[in-house]
Amino acid sequence: MPVATAPLLDDPFLEASATTPAAGEPHWAFGDDIGVLPRIFDAEITLAVMTRRLDAALQANIAAQLGSERGISWHWRGGVGQALADDLAAHLPAPAEGAALIDDIRIVAEAMAYLFDTDTIGVRLRTLEGAMCPRFHVDNLAVRLVTTYAGPASEWLPESAVERAGLGAPHPGKPEALRDPAAIQQLGVGDLALLKGDGWIGNEGRGLVHRSPQPAPGERRLLLALDPG
C-alpha cells in the first residue's frame, strides 16, 4: 500500500496552511485510493477516508476470528515489522485462519508509519458487543486511524450539525451536542479513516465529532485503531 503519491510535511502535526474553512464548507475528503489520506494535512480537513471493500480472503479471516467464543483485545506499540505480525498471530483466537487479516493490519500500520514519518505505531484490535464511546465526542489526541472490519462502522458529524458546547459529560442546562439527527454520517465497513482531533496543532476546538455505533443484539464489531508515535 504505497503512499509516496503525496509528500510528507517536516512536522506531521502541523497544517499545510494556516487558513480555516469558511462556514459550511466540507471538512472531509473521501476517495478510493490511498492518495486521499494525506489530505488530513490540509488545514480545513478533519476527516480523510479511503473507501474500500474487503476481499473474500480477508472476510473469511474476519469471520473465523468472530466465530470463536474468545474475543480479541490486542494492543501493540512499537515498529511495524515482523514482530507486530508475530505478536498479533499469537493473540488471535483462530491464528491458522488469520494470514490475510494479519497482512492487512501490517500494511495499514506501515502506511500510517510512513505517512506520519514515525518508527512507532500504537495499534489496537478489539471485538466489541456494545458501543465503546456511545456519545458524540472529540478525541484530544492529534490524529487516529480507524477501520471497522465487521459490524456497524463509526458515525461522525459535519460541523453544521454540531453544538460544541454540548460535547462532554452531560449535566443540567447543557445543550444537546447534536443539532440535526438527520445529518449523522457513517463510515463503511473496511474504510480507512483518519480522524483529526483537538490535539493537532492549529486544530484546537475543531476536532472531528464522532461516536461508536450500537451493534444489534448478538452482533459483534471488530475494530482496528492506530495512533502514530
- For the stretch 104-126, pLDDT in tens is 999 999 999 999 999 999 999 99
Residue 217, domain member (yes or no): yes
Q: What does the pLDDT read at residue 131?
A: 53
Q: Which residues of the chain have pLDDT under 50?
A: 1-22
Residue 112, domain member (yes or no): yes
Do β-strands 47-50 and 28-31 pair in parallel, antiparallel, or remain unpaired? parallel
Q: What does the pLDDT read at residue 224?
A: 98
Residue 23, domain member (yes or no): no
d(CA 49, CA 31): 6
CB atoms within 10 A of CB 172: 4
Q: What CATH number is associated with residue 40? A: 2.60.120.10
Give the cell for residue 14.
502541523
Domain tally, the chain = 1
Query: Whose CA is closest to 227, among 122, 108, 148, 141?
Result: 122
pLDDT tens per residue, range 139-171: 999 999 999 999 999 999 999 999 998 887 778
Residue 11, domain member (yes or no): no
Q: Classify 141 as helix, strand or coil.
A: coil
Residue 171, domain member (yes or no): yes
Segments forming the whole domain that contains residue 125:
28-228
Residue 15, domain member (yes or no): no
Residue 73, domain member (yes or no): yes
Q: What does the pLDDT read at residue 177?
A: 86
